[in-house]
């Protein structure tokens, strides 16, 4: 190792512009050795033959609801026409209390007024529905055609 003692003059020494990385490397090597020694101790377990079991998860998923809105604004609840707003709200309130709550899929005609879709969304919100999806068709470019 070398040591800089000075030039013997009364001048102030210059600022050292380099970082001494030797202590950092020493600390990192010590940490690496500690980790290499402790890992086998942590992962040591008693060898046991575990029993085999068929785990079949049970899912209580409710049937999703499809609401279709036609071009003229007619509303269909799972292929059954809804005659009034109160009837739609009543149906929504009946399924909104189910646990887990079913998802609602809205299929709106591409030529329907936004007002009709907004009205359905408003009734779903009033009834307490949380999961609402919109069903669309993919673009021809997305299908690789």
Residue by residue, what is the 3-state secondary structure of 13-57? CCCCCCCCCHHHHHHHHHHHHHHHHHHHHHCCCCCCCCCCCCCCC
Q: What is the pLDDT of residues 25-44, one digit of tens each?
A: 999 999 999 988 888 776 66
Higher pLDDT, 123 or 22: 123
pLDDT at 39: 80
Angle between helices 85-96 and 114-127 (to 10 degrees): 40
Confidence of residue 16 (pLDDT cuts 50, 70, 90): confident
**pLDDT at position 10:** 60
Q: How high is the pLDDT of residue 137?
A: 82
Q: Is the pLDDT of residue 126 over 90?
A: yes
For the domain 65-134, what is the CATH code? 3.30.420.270
pLDDT tens digits for 85-96? 999 999 999 999
- Average model confidence (pLDDT) across the chain: 82
Whether the CB-CB separation of 72 and 34 falls below 8 Å is answered with no
């Amino acid at each position: 190792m070398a040591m800089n003692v000075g030039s013997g003059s009364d001048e102030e020494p210059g600022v050292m512009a380099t970082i001494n990385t030797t202590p950092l490397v020493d600390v990192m090597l010590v940490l690496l050795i500690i980790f290499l020694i402790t890992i086998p101790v942590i992962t040591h377990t008693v060898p046991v033959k575990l029993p085999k079991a068929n785990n079949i998860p049970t899912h209580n998923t409710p049937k999703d609801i499809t609401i279709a809105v036609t071009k003229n604004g007619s509303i269909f609840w799972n292929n059954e026409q809804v005659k009034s707003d109160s009837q739609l709200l009543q149906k929504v309130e009946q399924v909104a209390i189910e646990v887990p709550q079913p998802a609602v899929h809205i299929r709106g005609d591409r030529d329907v007024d936004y007002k009709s879709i907004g009205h359905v969304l408003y009734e779903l919100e009033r009834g307490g529905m949380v999961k609402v999806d919109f069903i669309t068709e993919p673009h021809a470019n997305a299908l690789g055609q």
